[in-house]
Chains A and B, each alone.
Chain A
Amino acid sequence: MNNAKVLVVLEPAESGLGTANARVLGAVTALRQHLPLECDLVLCTNSPMQIDAAVAMPDVAQVMWPDSLPDVQAETLAPWLASLASSYGYVFIASNSFGKNLLPRLAALLDNQPITDVTAIDSPHRFQRPIYAGSAIASVYTEQTQKLLGIRTSAFNAVAPGRGTARKVVVPGPAGQCQSRLVSEETVALERPELTAARVVVAGGRGLLNRDNFNLLYRLADKLGAAVGASRAAVDAGFVANDMQVGQTGKVIAPELYIAVGISGAVQHLAGMSESRVVVAINKDPDAPIFDVADYGLVADLFDVLPELITQL
């Protein structure tokens, strides 16, 4: 085992490296403040586009990808990654639905206790992560020789592509498995920036009252070039799809500007957006908790405010 080597497991991306992956590399940069590190990347795809993007990343020693890949289920990937990871002191992966599904399965195969949702790296052994929906920040310490970290991507800056000099290494792919099989996928065609990558996010809550009224939010988003998010209440009520949920159990984001419209601000929602640089709250209830975290609050009926905003922008 080489403690000074980190393996970054890249999630498959639609194009290029993928925003989440670039931010995981930002966490590698953070660890390098404490420890000189050799960094290798492993892809869970053999898409030439992602291989090219990975090779272009600066300060990467080696980019590995599988010669063949039966599927990308955790049952297939975990044992394969466990054998690849054995010589690394650190394994990093994004703490999103891909990484959260995969990392604990990989860790258990290595008899390792992983640390998920890491928001800061304080030393080679000491990390921060939020608990209780962000009501506390835990400083955790481990002496495990291998440290498996799920990186909360909103907490780290993306590394920009550079002039990479990584070696390209094709490795034997994982064996197939017959435990799980993909039946269907409903992926959402993105018409707007992706929620976790957007500079501006407008989000709606129960105050929007129904699915149709979200069109007002989409129009505002298009004026701002923004992504659209939602509170759990709005998703539970069926106004929008689950992948738009911001909060403790949805996506955690930290855009430059977050505009919360008709969102009361439950603790579990605040856990997903309170690291945004500038927060605007629009709500007709002056006592809504969202105003406690808002830089700019406007107490007004959103059905008056939204059309005016759209006109004035």
Chain B
Amino acid sequence: MKILVAIKRVVDPGVRVRPFADGSGMDLAAAKMSINPFCEIAVEAAIRLKEQGFASEILVVSVGPAVVQEQLRAALALGADRAIHINTDEPLEPLSIAKLLRAVVIQEGPGLILLGKQSIDGDNNQTGQMLAALCNYPQGTFASKINPMGDEVHVTRELDGGLQTLALSLPAVITTDLRLNQPRFPTMPNIIKARQKPLRTLTPAELGIDMELRVITESLAIPRSRPAGVKVQSVTELLEKLRTEARVL
């Protein structure tokens, strides 16, 4: 079986970013870029499913300008077998990404599709669910466990009130949460090998997808910062302040 993993290039989670003063965008100049952490967990999950013999091939896909090939190569170095880059400089949103991925799903026919549950830049948490709807596949979102069971896959989901396990028929879409696994690091030989792995480039036009934005980000603002607080010296002083000054006790 083939597994398709969709990944996104984002600012490295260790970098603190802020919007430009004029609100026109985020100041990402010189920021280190990485595979979105949730997507990296999806890649790791695919590699483990291949190591278990459940999958025979891992196809990794990303959408964006030429630089996203860096993240595709990184995923190939981790253990993906081949990559598809959907090349576009247009601004993206989950609906158009889901449509592009669906077009690739139709071409490639994967048995399982893995995505990170959300990207740490847009924080939308939408693409996997939208892709599942467009393909009319079942969905297992916020997965903390994935177990193939015969012709189904069992997915344990992290919910507000606890955990839930669903059995999904295949093909299915799974979005990965933080505690699913701990991604491995690439080895130097694998980084070199990844340079030779196949990477194909497509365009939205070739896939017949209209990229017109439905939701436009007009401006970005710096969130209201909390006024500087005070240090207290003791538990007694803390409780006194909470009772008489903040009046929350």
Tally of contact residues, A, Cβ under 8 A? 86
Mark each residue of chain A from 257 to 290: 1 if its CB lies under 8 Å from any CB of chain B, else 0.
Answer: 1000000000110000010011110000000000
**B19 beta carbon closer than 8 Å to chain A:** yes
On whether the beta carbons of B238 and A296 are closer than 8 Å, the reply is: yes
Q: Which residues does chain B contribute within 8 Å of A40, judged by CB atoms?
A: none
On whether the beta carbons of A97 and B160 are closer than 8 Å, the reply is: yes
On whether the beta carbons of B166 and A183 are closer than 8 Å, the reply is: yes
Q: Which residues does chain B contribute within 8 Å of A136, judged by CB atoms?
A: 17-19, 26, 220-223
Q: Which residues does chain B contribute within 8 Å of A97, judged by CB atoms?
A: 142, 157-161
Q: Which residues does chain A contribute within 8 Å of B19, judged by CB atoms?
A: 135-136
Which range contains the number of B residues in contact with the other chain?
A: 35 or more
Q: Which residues does chain A contribute within 8 Å of B178, judged by CB atoms?
A: 232, 236, 249
Binds A, one of B42-50, B122-130, B188-196, B197-205: B122-130
Q: In the docked arrangement, what's the CA distance between A96 and B125, Å?
A: 11
**A198 beta carbon closer than 8 Å to chain B:** no
On whether the beta carbons of A131 and B123 are closer than 8 Å, the reply is: yes
Known: A136-B220, A267-B16, A296-B242. A104 touches B235 (CB 8 A): no
Known: A75-B138, A97-B160, A308-B235. A178 touches B94 (CB 8 A): no
Q: Which residues does chain B contribute within 8 Å of A293, judged by CB atoms?
A: 226, 229
On whether the beta carbons of B139 and A105 are closer than 8 Å, the reply is: yes
**B244 beta carbon closer than 8 Å to chain A:** no
On whether the beta carbons of A278 and B246 are closer than 8 Å, the reply is: yes
Number of A-B residue pairs at CB separation under 8 A: 243
Q: Which residues does chain A contribute within 8 Å of B141, judged by CB atoms?
A: 74, 100-101
Q: Which residues does chain A contribute within 8 Å of B95, judged by CB atoms?
A: 107-108, 111-113
Which of B124, B172, B222 is packed against the most chain A CB atoms within 10 Å? Answer: B124
CB neighbors of B among A209-256 (8 A): 224, 232, 235-236, 241-243, 248-249, 251, 256
Q: Which residues does chain B contribute within 8 Å of A299, judged by CB atoms?
A: 231
**A142 beta carbon closer than 8 Å to chain B:** yes
Q: Which residues does chain A contribute within 8 Å of B221, judged by CB atoms?
A: 136-137, 139
CB distance from B135 to the nearest CB of A (A): 10
Mark each residue of chain A from 90 to 127: 1 if its CB lies under 8 Å from any CB of chain B, else 0.
Answer: 00000011101111111111011111110000000010
On whether the beta carbons of A104 and B126 are closer than 8 Å, the reply is: yes
**A138 beta carbon closer than 8 Å to chain B:** yes
Mark each residue of chain B from 160 to 201: 1 if its CB lies under 8 Å from any CB of chain A, else 0.
Answer: 111111111100100001110000000000000000000000
Q: Which residues does chain A contribute within 8 Å of B127, judged by CB atoms?
A: 104
**A21 beta carbon closer than 8 Å to chain B:** no
Binds A, one of B51-59, B77-85, B209-217: B209-217
Q: Which residues does chain B contribute within 8 Å of A115, judged by CB atoms?
A: 215
CB distance from B97 to the nearest CB of A (A): 11
Known: A232-B178, A293-B226. A108 touches B129 (CB 8 A): yes
Q: In the docked arrangement, what's the CA distance between A251 and B142, Å?
A: 13
On whether the beta carbons of A138 and B217 are closer than 8 Å, the reply is: yes
On whether the beta carbons of B129 and A179 are closer than 8 Å, the reply is: no
On whether the beta carbons of B164 and A184 are closer than 8 Å, the reply is: yes
**A155 beta carbon closer than 8 Å to chain B:** no
On whether the beta carbons of B216 and A141 are closer than 8 Å, the reply is: yes
Known: A256-B248, A297-B230. A109 touches B94 (CB 8 A): no
Q: In the docked arrangement, what's the CA distance between A278 and B98, Å?
A: 41
Q: Which residues does chain B contribute within 8 Å of A292, judged by CB atoms?
A: 226
Q: Which residue of chain A has the shortest Cβ distance to B144 in the bound complex?
A: A242
CB distance from B89 to the nearest CB of A (A): 19
Contact of B160 among A98, A116, A186, A305 (CB under 8 A): A98
Q: In the docked arrangement, what's the CA distance between A298 and B232, Å?
A: 5
Q: In the docked arrangement, what's the CA distance between A136 and B120, Å?
A: 12
**A295 beta carbon closer than 8 Å to chain B:** yes
Q: Which residues does chain A contribute within 8 Å of B129, judged by CB atoms?
A: 74, 100-105, 108
Sampled A-B contacts (26; CB under 8 Å): A74-B139, A75-B139, A102-B129, A104-B133, A105-B129, A105-B130, A111-B95, A126-B218, A132-B120, A132-B121, A133-B123, A134-B223, A139-B220, A140-B218, A180-B169, A181-B166, A182-B166, A182-B167, A184-B165, A242-B144, A248-B123, A296-B231, A296-B238, A296-B246, A298-B231, A313-B239
Known A257-B242, A257-B249; further 7 A-B contacts with Cβ < 8 A: A101-B129, A106-B133, A112-B95, A134-B223, A136-B18, A136-B26, A136-B223
Partner-B contacts on A (CB < 8 A):
73-75, 78, 96-98, 100-109, 111-117, 126, 129-142, 144, 178-188, 196, 200, 224, 232, 235-236, 241-243, 248-249, 251, 256-257, 267-268, 274, 277-280, 291-299, 305, 308-309, 312-313
